[in-house]
Chain A
């Protein structure tokens, strides 16, 4: 069996019927891209749940690479996250009071981890395919950040394994609920994720 690339996608949340991250992860499950077999993992929305789920799955499947996908409604492009922080805003305090508090994703963990995906290579490829993409300096402080942080933390002793996170805009089917916000066709996003996986697989060799 080829080595595994773990592809995490989130369940729909905040009343949405779909979450493009899981739609894409689900479609790619089992495929072999660049010599890595995709193992898709569906993740619940919540800091602790997401962190636990990805940590358990990483131990279980011993992946050669991990890419988390998440929805960032309102962003106009594919965003490659550069950094995950040790901060879990489980109760949405940032939205309610402007202060996310101090709860860590991992007690005693370092303040932050940087993405270990080949960001420059991915951006270059996406540019060539005319898919809008950029590097983001914040994955927020909610479940997506927690997943990225937990994945990087659990694979901290194997720094050569690529691990990172990609945020996706709303999918076109969600646009009706968010008329003033940008969205992207699922096929385009799927293509972008395939490109990111292929570039990651090359860097994992």
Chain B
């Protein structure tokens, strides 16, 4: 089982690491662990040496040029405060392969870091690890922001491409949100032409991300074309960050997280909306 899991994880992508990799690299001085759970969970017990960053309070749904610049400045501050230099391997974790850790990974990758990772399966999978309440000291850095625009989509980027066959918009909210039964913005509905599948479909029962082959089959059955650029979105760009990872694992080379997601699109009055109906 362990061997099979390892082989699976190795096939995934370098964007995620598994519990065995973590064991093997635990003493690596160039490894930084980031605990993305709520702060009280962190203080109740975390992986030793881990630093804390819960991405949930850092909503950012304005993808105008100015908004994206502000997002970058915010990330620069956060990653500097976390003592990240840009040379180390940074592993984000939570209880399983969830959206918090994925958002951390995606945000650091967007900020220009080349070794941002998520711990597959999170604490649930890291069974050999004992948790500690001791918080280690570390020095803040001056993180150099170098945004990778190719992993982020803005509303204007989407507007320019809606309807084009080589760009596919991927709604990963719940079915209730997609079909407008649960409205979490001024308007209900979906971005025109979006494909839909709940982000949770990318997770296995054990809380790890499904294998590349499983994900690939699942996405292709949905109609997502590996030759196209895929733009996942959700409500706030967290579940979509997870979908970003899942798509990368499945071997989709061009993926952008729509940072603004429905919190931006559905709150504006000028953007086109479709109202999908259940069949």
User: Quick check: A56 and B192 within 8 Å, CB to CB?
Assistant: yes
A48-B193, A59-B270, A60-B156 given as contacts; is B162 within 8 A of A53 (CB)? Answer: yes
Chain B's nearest CB lies how many Å from the CB of A132?
32
Within the assembled complex, what's the spacing in Å between the Cα atoms of A54 and B271? Answer: 12
Chain B nearest CB, measured from A106 CB (Å)? 10
Across the interface, do A56 and B159 meet the contact criterion of CB distance under 8 Å? yes
Residue of B nearest to A48 (CB): B193
Q: Contact at B164–A59, with CB atoms within 8 Å?
A: no
- A52 and B193: CB pair below 8 A? yes
Give A49 to B165 CA distance when docked, in angstroms: 8
8 Å CB contacts to A: which residues of B144-166? 156, 158-165
Q: Are B160 and A56 in contact (CB under 8 A)?
A: yes
A163 to B164, CA, bound (A): 22
**Does the CB pair A49–B163 fall under 8 Å?**
yes
Q: Which size class do B's interface residues fall under?
A: 10 to 19
Q: Which residues of B contact A56 (CB under 8 A)?
A: 158-163, 192, 272
Q: How far is the CA of A99 from the CA of B158 in the complex (A)?
A: 35
Q: How far is the CA of A135 from the CA of B275 in the complex (A)?
A: 35
- Cβ of B163: which chain A residues have Cβ within 8 Å of it? 43-44, 48-56
Within 8 Å of chain B (Cβ to Cβ): is A191? no
Interface residues of B in 179-233 (CB under 8 A from A): 192-193
- With a cutoff of 8 Å between Cβ atoms, the chain B residues found around residue A107 in the complex are 275
Contact of B160 among A44, A50, A60, A154 (CB under 8 A): A60
The answer to whether A53 touches B272, judged by C-beta atoms less than 8 angstroms apart, is no
Q: B201 CB to closest chain A CB, in angstroms? A: 24
Query: A60 near B272 (CB under 8 angstroms)?
Result: no
Give chain A nearest CB distance to B19 CB in angstroms.
44
> What is the bound-complex CA distance between A53 and B272, given in angstroms?
10
- The smallest C-beta distance from A46 to any residue of chain B, in angstroms, reads 8
- Give the interface SS of chain A, mostly helix, strand, loop or mixed: helix
Instruction: Tally the A-B contacts, defined by beta carbons under 8 Å.
Output: 44
Is A57 positioned at the interface, with any CB of B under 8 Å from its CB?
Answer: yes
CA distance A56 to B161 in the complex (A): 7
Q: Is the CB of B159 within 8 A of A60?
A: yes
- Contact across chains for A53 and B164 when beta carbons are under 8 A apart: yes
Contacting residues of chain A (122-146) with chain B, CB-CB under 8 angstroms: none
> Contacts A48-B193, A154-B272: A57 and B159 contacting too (C-beta < 8 A)?
yes
* Residue numbers in B under 8 Å from A57 (CB-CB): 159-160
Residue among B165, B193, B272, B275 with the most chain A CB within 10 A?
Answer: B272
Considering the complex, give the chain B residue whose CB is closest to the CB of A108: B275
Name A150's closest neighbour in chain B (CB-CB): B272
Contact indicator per residue, chain B 162-176, by CB within 8 Å of chain A (1) or not (0): 111100000000000
Write the A144-166 contact mask toward B (1 if CB under 8 angstroms, else 0).
Answer: 00000000001000000000000
Query: Closest approach, in angstroms, between the C-beta of B274 and any C-beta of chain A?
Result: 8
**In chain B, what residue has the closest Cβ to A55?**
B272
- CB-CB under 8 A from B158, the residues of chain A are 56
B270 partner residues in chain A, CB cutoff 8 A: 59
| Given A52-B192, A107-B275, A44-B165 contact (CB < 8 Å) | yes
Do A59 and B272 form a contact, CB below 8 Å, given A49-B193, A52-B192, A52-B193? yes
A60 to B275, CA, bound (A): 20
- Residues in B227-279 with C-beta less than 8 Å from chain A: 270-272, 275
Considering the complex of A and B, which 10 residue pairs feature the smallest CB-CB distances, nearest first? A53-B163, A56-B162, A52-B163, A60-B159, A56-B159, A52-B192, A49-B163, A55-B272, A52-B162, A52-B193
Interface set of A (CB-CB < 8 Å, partner B): 43-44, 48-57, 59-60, 107, 154
A-B contact pairs, 6 of them (CB 8 A): A44-B163, A49-B164, A52-B162, A52-B163, A55-B272, A56-B272
Given contacts A55-B272, A59-B270, A60-B160, 10 further A-B contacts (CB under 8 A): A44-B163, A44-B164, A48-B163, A49-B163, A53-B164, A55-B162, A56-B160, A56-B162, A57-B159, A154-B272
